Structure 1
Amino acid sequence: MISRSAGTSNTGGKSRGCASCKKRKIKCDQSKPACTQCLKSGWVCPGYPSVSDLVFRNQTGSLVQKLHRGFSPSIVDRATAFFISQYVFQRHPDGSTPPSRGHYEYLPALLHGESSSSVLTTTVAAAGLAGLANAGNSNAWRIDAHAMHGLAICRLKEALEDPCQATSNKTLVAIVLMGTFEQIASADASSMHFFSQHIMAVAKCIELHGSNQFQSVVSIGLLGEIRRLVIMTLHRLQEPVPPALEKWSSWTGNIIHEDEAPANSFGVISSQLVAVRAKLKQKAICDPTVVAEMLLPIDEKLETWRSELPWSWKYKSYTAIDSTASSGDTYQSHYDVYEDLWVASVWNSYRTSRLLLYEHIMSTTLKYGSAEDNDMLQAAAKVLKAMADEICHSVPFHLGIQRHRNSSSFQDSDAIPGCYLLIWPLFASGMRRTTPWQQKEWIVEKLRYIGTRMGLRLAMSMADRVAMEKRPSSGSEVWVMGEWYPK
C-alpha cells in the first residue's frame, strides 16, 4: 500500500542515504554519482531514493490492519454519508423527466450491496473522510483519509488487472472519485494535476468499454459526467480533444431523454471550443483579428444553443426587495431559479465557455491590438461582465435558497450538493479582469463558505487566488467600459 508519509504511523523519518550505507548503519554523504563510503569499500552504490520514495512509503500490511482494526463502521458510514449529502444530488422524477440527471446521482445505486472492501466503497469513504477532516479541522481524520485513499489505489490496481472489473461502471466511478479526493484533500496546485491525471485515465478506460456498454440509465449518466470533466480538464490545459471524445456524443445521442438533449449538444460545441483554443495555443496565434475570426463562430453556436433551449430549461429571475445591496450590485439582489441543479450547472458551463472565449479575445487584443480594435474590446468586456453576473445570480439556487412556488419568499436548505458544481464557474468569474473588485470580494466570500461547509480545500485555495488579484496600477492600462484593464 502506498500512502503519504505525513499520514503514516510512527515508523520514523526516511533517510536520504543509499541503501548500502543504511544497511551497514553508517552515515552516507550522498555524493554523486556514488557515495564516498561505497567507493572506499569497493561497493556498488545503489543510488539514492527519489523524492516520491521519500514522500510515499509502502505500508500495505499496516494500513489493511488499520482499516479492519482502527476504522470503526460508524466512522466509515459517517464519512460515506457526508460525501453523499454534500457531493451527490439526484433528480426525483415526476413521471415526465428522466431520473438520471444529477451529479454522482448513480452513486447510491452502485454502492447498494457493495462489499466494504471494494474499491468503490473505499474510495467514497476516503473522500468523505477527507471532507469531514477539513470541515472539522481534524488532523487525525486527515491522516486516516490519506491512508484509506492509499488502500483504494491498491484495490484499484487489482480491479484494473481483472478484465471484468476493469470495464465496470464501479471502477470508472472509483477513478473519477479519486480525482475528487485530490480536490477535497489538497489545497495546492498539485491537486489539479492529479485530478487531471485521473480524468484522462478514466477517458482511456472508456475506450475499453465501447459503445455497447453505455445503454443503461446509470452508464449514460456516467458517460455524460466523464465527458464534462474531460472537457473541463482540456479547457484548463488548453490541449486538443482526443479523437475518442468526438465519438461519445454519438453513442448516447439516440437513446437519451429528449429533455437531456441540450446537454449533449452543448458538449459538442464545448468540444469544438476546446479544439480551437488548443489550435491557437499550438500555433501561437496572437493576431487579434485572426483570434476573433476563429473564436466568434463558436460563440454564435453557443448563442444559437441558448436561443433554441426548450421551455423546461428556462430559468426565472427574481429580485430580493429586502436586499440592502446597492442598485448596481445586481449579483447580490437578483436570484435565478432553475428547474433543477443539473440544468443550472449546464447553464453555468455555457457561461464559463463564453468567459474563456471572450477572455482569450480580450487578453490578445489588449496585448497585441491597436486603437482600431477598441470596439472588439468593448464587446468582449460587455459579455464577460454579463456572464459573470449571471453565474453570481445562480449562487443562491446552488446554495439551496429556493423560492416558494406560491409566495414571494425564499427558503434555505441544509443540503448543498450543487455547490461542488459552482466552484469552477465562480472561480472563472472572479479571475476575470472585467469583474469589479467588490464583486470579487463577494465571490471570495462564497468560495470560502463552500470550502468550509463542504470540507473542500480546493474551494479555499480558489478563494485565496481570487483574493490575491490586485487593482492594476496606472501606466500600462486601457480604459474599457469605465474601468482600467492591464495590457
Structure 2
Amino acid sequence: MFLIWCSMSHLRADIQEQAITDPNKILAKAYTIEQDLNTWFANLPPSFSYTTHIVPPNSYTIKQKCRGITPYNNKYHIYNAFWISELYNQYRCMRILVSEIIFSHLQKLPSPTASCREHEHRALISHFSDEICHSIPFSLGACNSETPPEVRAVPPENYIAGLLLIWPLYLAGAAEQLSHPRRRWVLHAARVIGHSMGVELGLRIMDILNVAPCILDEEEIWSDEISVKYVKEGDGVDCAG
C-alpha cells in the first residue's frame, strides 16, 4: 500500500508541476496505479472482510452512539478492527484520487470510448465516497463485530480516530456539489468530530466544503492545495499527511 501511495503522490506532483502534460501518458500511469490497487484489494485475507448493515426503521441507537450522526443512506459497516476500517478508507481515498485523475484527463480525449470510461470512473468515485461514509459509525465506536450495535456500550471518544477520519470525509464530501446530500452529511459529521471529539481540523474541513466546488468540476487537482492552505491558516492545527 505504501508503494502505491508513493506512485500516486509522484503522479499528482508531476501533473501539478506540469512535468507530464500528455493526457495519454498520464492516463497510462493512472491505469497502472488503479491496477495495483485492484491487485492489493484482491489479495486481502478473509479476516479483512466486513459486512454492510441497514439501520432498522425508527431506530435511534446508532445515532445516539455517534453523537447525533445518522448513518448515511441508513447503511453502516462492521469490521473486525478499527485499523482495518482505516486501511480500507486509505484504499478508498486512493481509488477516488486515481479516478479523479482518469476522469479529468479522459475529458481531454473526446471519443465514445472515453465518454463511457468517464461515466465509469464517476460512478466509482460515488461508490467509494459512499463506502467512506458507511464506515463512519464503526470508526466512531458505535458498533463492532462482536456485538450488535443495539446492545453495545458506548466507548470513550478517540481523538486519533476522529483525526484519521478527516481526510477520507473531505474527499467523500468534495466528490459532489455543494447541494448534494452526501456533502451535507459530511459537513454534519465533520461538525460533530470537531466539536465533540476536539478535532479542530474537522471545523476547518467544514470551512472548505462550504465553498469548494466538486473535484470533478475543475481540471486542476486542487484537493491538496486547498487542504494545505486552510491548515496553514489554522491556529494550533497539526495535520500529518
TM-score (normalised: structure 2): 0.75
Distance in 2, matches of 1:410 and 1:465, equals: 37
Q: Residues 116-135 of structure 1 correspond to what in structure 2 (within 5 A)?
A: none
- 8 Å Cα contact 2:92-2:132 kept in structure 1: yes
State yes or no: 1:425 paired with 2:168. yes
Q: Does 1:388 align with 2:129?
A: yes
Distance across 2 between alignment mates of 1:338 and 1:382: 24
Matches within 5 A, 1:372-383: 372=112, 373-383=114-124
Alignment pair present for 1:317 and 2:52: yes
- CA 1:391 to 1:286, structure 2 compared with 1: closer, same or farther past 3 Å? same
Distance in 2 separating the partners of 1:291 and 1:360: 8
Q: Distance in 1 between matches of 2:149 and 2:200?
A: 35
1:231-246 map, 5 Å: none
Alpha carbons 1:288, 1:364 under 8 Å: kept: yes
SS of alignment partner, residue 184 of structure 2? helix
Residue aligning to 2:98: 357
Task: Give the Cα separation in 2 of the matches to 1:383 and 1:452.
Answer: 31
Deviations 1:34-68 (A, max 9, x none): xxxxxxxxxxxxxxxxxxxxxxxxxxxxxxxxxxx
Q: How does 1:209-248 map to 2 (within 5 A)?
A: none
Q: What residue in structure 1 maps to residue 38 of structure 2?
A: 303
Distance 1:299 1:323 in 2: 40
| Residue 153 of structure 2 is aligned to residue 405 of structure 1 | no
Q: Does 1:445 align with 2:164?
A: no
Quote how far apart the aligned CAs of 1:405 are.
Answer: 3.4
CA gap 1:340/1:330 in 2 versus in 1, 3 angstroms: closer
Q: CA, structure 1 residues 407+446, in 2 after alignment: closer, same or farther (shift >3 Å)?
A: closer
Does structure 1 retain, via aligned residues, the 8 Å contact 2:27–2:105?
no
Q: C-alpha separation between the residues in 2 aligned to 1:403 and 1:431?
A: 28
Match of residue 222 from structure 1: none
How far, CA to CA, are the matches of 1:384 and 1:406 in structure 2? 31
Deviant stretches of 4+, over 6 Å: none
Q: Which amino acid letter does the alignment assign opposite residue 302 of structure 1?
A: L
Whether the aligned pair in 2 keeps the contact of 1:320 and 1:335 (CA below 8 Å) is yes
Q: Residue 80 of structure 2 aligns to a residue in which SS? A: coil
- Percent identity of the aligned residues? 25
Q: How does 1:259-298 map to 2 (within 5 A)?
A: 266-298=1-33
SS in 1 for 2:156: coil
Report if the CA contact (8 A) 2:96-2:125 is conserved: yes
Q: 1:356 to 1:470 in 2, by over 3 A?
A: closer
Q: Map residues 43-192 of structure 1 onto 2, 5 A cutoff.
A: none
Equivalent AA in structure 2 for residue 267 of structure 1: F
Cα drift, residue 267 of structure 1: 1.3
CA distance in 1, matches of 2:4, 2:185: 31
Contact 2:194 2:200 in 1 (8 A): yes
Cα distance change of structure 1 residues 268 and 323 upon mapping to structure 2, 3 Å threshold: farther
Report the residue type matching 2:140 in the other structure.
Answer: L
CA spacing shift, 1:286–1:413, aligned 2, 3 Å: farther
User: What is the CA distance between 1:414 and its match in structure 2?
Assistant: 4.2
Deviation at 1:271, TM superposition (A): 1.6
User: Alpha-carbon deviation of 1:429?
Assistant: 1.2
Local SS of the residue matching 1:422: helix
Cα–Cα, structure 1 residues 294 and 435, in superposed 2: closer, same or farther, change >3 Å? farther
Give the conservation status (yes or no) of the 8 Å contact 1:427–1:466: yes
1:299 and 1:318, CA in 2 relative to 1: closer, same or farther beyond 3 A? same
Q: Please name the residue that 1:466 is paired with.
A: 209
Q: What SS does the corresponding residue of 1:339 show, helix, strand or coil?
A: coil
Instruction: Indicate if the aligned counterparts of 1:319 and 1:335 stay in contact, CA closer than 8 A.
Output: yes
- The whole-number CA distance in structure 2 between the counterparts of 1:296 and 1:435 is 29
Deviations 1:364-402 (A, max 9, x none): 334x34244212211210110111011001000111110
Deviations 1:45-94 (A, max 9, x none): xxxxxxxxxxxxxxxxxxxxxxxxxxxxxxxxxxxxxxxxxxxxxxxxxx
RMSD, matched Cα: 2.9
Distance 1:448 1:406, change over 3 A: closer
Distance 1:439 1:410, change over 3 A: farther
> 444-453 or 371-380, which moves further after superposition?
371-380
Deviation at 1:301, TM superposition (A): 0.9
Gaps of at least 5 residues in structure 1 are 1-265, 472-483
Q: Which amino acid aligns with 2:104?
A: S
Aligned length: 206
- 1:51 alignment partner in structure 2: none
Q: Which amino acid aligns with 2:14?
A: K
State the shift of 1:406 in Å: 5.2
For structure 2, the 5+ residue unaligned runs are: 60-69, 220-241
CA distance in 2 between partners of 1:424 and 1:410 (Å): 30
Larger Rg: 1
